């Protein structure tokens, strides 16, 4: 079946689509509760250094998150999330080039609003990355629609990552997209994340691998596809590697296959020359299909 080419443009600067190189989204993690301790930057000087390194190595989006979404992690208050986000947003907005976009990884309207207000002081807008697809806080949807902000929606039905099959993922995305359109939202601002990772107990490595191998089926929705698989548990399970610090090679392999199968954006902890070469090779192979 021939499908329409996928293409979108965010903030009149970042083009994403089938005929373009995959976009790299670098993870800026402010949460010490996270599963991968090596990705946490609580000190602003370290955050500044890694932000500059990521953009020098090709990251076009920096995703700032202050709350661990791992289901077993200790929970923090909304105020603590805001307190972590504020200095990070200021630091990043001051130093990165204007053509690099800032994404806020949050499920809460208050956090998104505060981050957006700070970013605007630096003449920047933000992308909202909500792993719950507005299930956690419906006010976030209202804010995104009102402010016309791009949004990354992760496959979720009741709680983040609770959808297991590609068919269920597609159906749930249809519902959320239709709801946004009915509320006057521009569907060209939507990016889809199928929710790779062990978000719920019943999620097995096989579930994640099936999502990656069937990624192309998401094209029916006509939206850019983001994959966030960096150092996740399915890689550790396959390679028998317990520590996330040692899952980089497995991450590269899974990333190459995801791009080959249609991923447009790669969310990763590691922005470096190895990743760059992997993306070029995988995209070239995809183009040769």
* Sequence-distant (≥ 6) Cβ neighbours of residue 236 within 8 angstroms: 242, 243, 244, 247, 250
In the chain, % of residues over pLDDT 70 = 94
pLDDT at 194: 98
pLDDT at 18: 98
What mean pLDDT is predicted for residues 263-277? 97
**DSSP per-residue codes, 77-115:** -HHHHHHHHHHHHHHHHHHS-TTSEEEEE-S-HHHHHHH
Helix (H) or strand (E) holding 158: none
What mean pLDDT is predicted for residues 194-214? 93
Band the pLDDT of 40: cuts 50, 70, 90. Answer: low
pLDDT at 11: 93
pLDDT in tens, 62-99: 999 988 776 666 788 999 999 999 999 999 999 999 99
What mean pLDDT is predicted for residues 260-282? 98
pLDDT at 133: 97
Which residue's structure tokens are 């199928």? 194
pLDDT at 3: 66
Per-domain boundaries in the chain? 21-287
- Count of CB atoms situated within 10 Å of the CB of 209: 17
pLDDT in tens, 143-193: 999 999 999 999 998 888 898 799 999 999 999 999 999 999 999 999 999
E-only strand ranges, 54-201: 61-65, 101-105, 126-130, 151-154, 190-193
* Sequence-distant (≥ 6) Cβ neighbours of residue 68 within 8 angstroms: 31, 33, 34, 35, 74
What mean pLDDT is predicted for residues 20-27? 98
State whether the Cα torsion 150-155-157-161 is positive or negative: negative
Does the domain at 21-287 match CATH 3.20.20.20? Answer given as yes
- Count of CB atoms situated within 10 Å of the CB of 173: 24
Residue 115 has pLDDT above 90, yes or no: yes
């Amino acid at each position: 079946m021939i499908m329409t080419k996928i293409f979108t443009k965010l903030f009149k600067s970042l083009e994403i689509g089938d005929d373009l190189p995959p976009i790299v989204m670098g993870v800026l993690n402010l949460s010490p509760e996270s599963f991968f301790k090596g990705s946490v930057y609580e000190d602003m000087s370290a955050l500044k250094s890694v932000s500059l390194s990521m953009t020098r190595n090709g990251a076009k989006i920096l995703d700032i998150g202050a709350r661990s979404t791992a289901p077993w992690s200790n929970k923090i208050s909304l105020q603590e999330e805001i307190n972590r986000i504020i200095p990070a947003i200021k630091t990043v907005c001051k130093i990165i080039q204007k053509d690099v976009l800032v994404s806020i990884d949050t499920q809460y309207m208050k956090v998104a609003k505060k981050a957006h207000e700070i970013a605007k002081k630096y003449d920047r807008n933000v992308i909202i990355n909500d792993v719950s697809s507005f299930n956690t806080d419906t006010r976030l949807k209202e804010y995104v629609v009102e402010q016309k902000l791009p949004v990354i929606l992760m496959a979720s039905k009741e709680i983040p990552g609770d959808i297991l099959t590609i068919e269920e993922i597609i159906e749930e995305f249809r519902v959320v997209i239709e709801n946004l359109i009915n509320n006057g939202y521009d569907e060209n601002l939507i990016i889809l994340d199928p929710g790779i990772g062990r978000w719920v107990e019943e999620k097995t490595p096989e579930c994640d691998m099936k999502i990656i191998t069937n990624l192309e089926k998401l094209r029916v929705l006509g939206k850019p596809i983001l994959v966030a698989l960096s150092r996740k548990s399915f890689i550790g399970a396959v390679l028998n590697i317990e520590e996330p610090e040692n899952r980089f090679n497995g991450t590269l392999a899974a990333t190459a296959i995801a791009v080959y199968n249609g991923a447009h954006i790669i969310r990763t902890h590691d922005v470096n020359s190895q990743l760059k070469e992997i993306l070029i090779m995988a995209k070239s192979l995809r183009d040769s299909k």
